[in-house]
Chain A
Amino acid sequence: MTEKKFKRDFSSLELIDAFVRSFAAGHALDDEMVFTLDFVIEEIFTNMVKYQSASGNDVSIGLSRENDMLTIRLVDYGVEYFDPTSAPGVDINKPLAERRPGGLGVHLVKSYVDDFRYEYTDDNSIITLIKKVKD
């Protein structure tokens, strides 16, 4: 797995995009997959930044490809339990007046990936996303 640590700040998003593009170039991933990786990583990373603001630790992001399977892993060290996979669903058919932006990011992550797992061990939150690569 190719891993890198990023400062817990929205300003890291540009560096995360560069990390994704570098990985994609070395693993035959197209523009659509770069967009998907950027998107799902941003949504999880920004949740960690927003909801674990007491932590000053960097967040680790790892990527690996095995055949047609991509694994994306984000590790948030020394934080409280926070499981985004159990967030309530978002009704995307609500009228405009009843819509709120909250929760949309996790809903969209679920739309993009094939598997979305949460583990909590030794005060570390570990999010694993699995995405199949199309031929």
Chain B
Amino acid sequence: MFDAKLLDDGRVELFGRFDAAQVEKARVVFDLVKGPATVDFRGLEYISSAGLGILLMTQRRLKEAGGKGLKLMNMNKHIGDVFRYAGFDQVFEIV
């Protein structure tokens, strides 16, 4: 089960498994992100390239609008490895 929530303070929380079947559900939430935002991966177990694609396109949209972009936090080791293999540690602030 996957879930993505945009909180009142602008944070996005992700839960469960972010696979290709969840892209539309995630897109609805990330399209609502208008300014710099923190994405909390604490509850996320898994991500595939489909999930990376949503994050990448959100980051591009925010940066092209002159914003600071997304800050990603609390990734588990496996997800952190995916980000490094994809070179995404160079285009996102990961804390």
Give A residues with C-beta under 8 Å from B: 10-11, 13-14, 17, 31-32, 35, 38-39, 42-43, 46, 92-97, 99, 101, 104-105, 107-108, 111-112
Contacts and interface: CB of A to CB of B under 8 A. Distances in A.
B52 A39 contact: no
B36 to A, nearest CB: 15
Interface in B34-55: 46, 48-50, 52-53
B65 interface: no
Nearest to B2: A14
B27 to A, nearest CB: 12
Contacts of B90: 92-93
A99 B17 contact: no
A108 B91 contact: no
Contacts, number: 70
A108 B86 contact: yes
B87 A93 contact: yes
Given A31-B78, A35-B78, A93-B87, A17 B17 contact: yes
B29 interface: no
B52 A101 contact: yes
A39 B47 CA distance: 8
Contacts of A96: 56, 59-60, 63, 91
Nearest to B69: A96
Interface of B: 17, 19-21, 46, 48-50, 52-53, 56-57, 59-60, 63-64, 77-78, 82, 85-87, 90-91
The majority secondary structure among interface residues of chain A is helix
Contacts of A14: 17, 21
Contact of B52 (A13, A93, A94, A104): A104
25 contacts: A13-B17, A13-B20, A14-B17, A17-B17, A17-B46, A31-B78, A32-B77, A35-B46, A35-B78, A38-B46, A39-B46, A39-B82, A42-B19, A42-B20, A42-B48, A92-B90, A93-B90, A96-B59, A97-B60, A99-B56, A101-B56, A104-B49, A105-B48, A105-B50, A111-B85
Q: Which of A43, A93, A105 has the most CB of B within 10 A?
A: A105
A77 to B, nearest CB: 21
